[in-house]
Amino acid sequence: MNKKGNTVFFKNSPRVTSFAAVCGSKESAGIIGTYADITLQDDMYEESTYEKAECKMLTTAIALAIEKGGYSEGDIDVLLSGDLLNQIISASFAARDYNFPFLGVYSACSTMSESMLLGAMLVNAGYVKKAVAATGSHFASAERQYRYPLELGCTRPPQAQWTVTGAGGCVITDEKKGIKIVNGTMGKVCDFGVTDVNNMGAAMAPADAIIPPYGRTHIHVAILRQASFRLGRVRLVHSPRSALAFLVLLASVRSLLLHSAADSQKRFNTAKHKEEDIRILSAAE
């Protein structure tokens, strides 16, 4: 394994040999919905709580990814998965249904990319032959976790993001077929001081807008480029159509980048000036 800056290159070319996705009603309304294996008309997924629905989606995506690859549960060496909830409870509960080892990952919107990066590292190094990387989220459970429960009926500001209701999983193997994982970049936190809990796009934008490839890059954005695309700086080579289908796995990409890094810096500077004004007023009083 070679390394350049924060980017690692996989000489043994681990491959994504199968993948699956489940998406909610809002997500299935767009073009990406046509590539999902299961599209829900009821975001409760026949469960009594949003959290149970989220766990069920993740469990289903993992099972489908294994099944579509022609594998059995006994073929899988490890599951790398996480979600947005406390103690990654959806992933932990999903892992109970399987008899292979589980490594929990929490990386917010970059959980899928980090899971794939770690899975590729394990396969490339020869420690495992088949690893499952997966993640999931639910709009309603995320609102309750980070903002306000939907039952309160709070007004959403125009810049508010929508957390994806969906789940995705893929099997990474040492086989010589499928989508090749060429490299992956380990990210660093870039904080411009955005404090608007409803605008996660502005908080995440600096990590992608100001950082060059092979430098300080946070892992959470997919960019389609000709016959290859970078999944949060995890680079996979395949056809554009297959790449588009694989984008469904980005259930952990939960908001659009609504503001550029320059906008984020401007907001940060404005916030700093306001704090200074408050201090001056307090001192005068």
pLDDT value at residue 269: 56
Instruction: Please give the mean pLDDT across all residues of the chain.
Output: 78
Position 265 pLDDT exceeds 70: no
Distance in angstroms (rounded) separating the CA atoms of residues 230 and 73: 29
Distance in angstroms (rounded) separating the CA atoms of residues 201 and 257: 4
Position 232 pLDDT exceeds 50: no
Grouping H, G, I as helix, E, B as strand and the rest as coil, residue 214 is coil
Distance in angstroms (rounded) separating the CA atoms of residues 266 and 192: 9
Higher pLDDT, 266 or 240: 266
Determine the average pLDDT of the residues in 71-76. 95
φ, ψ at 18 (rounded to 5°):
-160, 155
pLDDT value at residue 34: 86
Beta strand ranges found along the chain (DSSP E): 2-4, 7-9, 15-23, 38-39, 78-82, 102-104, 130-137, 166-173, 179-185, 222-225, 228-231, 234-237
Are the beta carbons of 261 and 206 closer than 8 angstroms? yes
Q: For the segment 108-159, what is each residue's pLDDT rounded down to a tens digit?
A: 888 999 999 999 999 999 999 999 999 999 998 988 888 888 888 888 888 7
Please report where in the chains the tokens 């908001």 appear, as a residue. Answer: 255
In this predicted structure, which of 3-17, 186-200, 230-244 has the lowest mean pLDDT? Answer: 230-244
pTM tops 0.75: no
Position 36 pLDDT exceeds 80: yes
Grouping H, G, I as helix, E, B as strand and the rest as coil, residue 8 is strand
Position 285 pLDDT exceeds 60: no
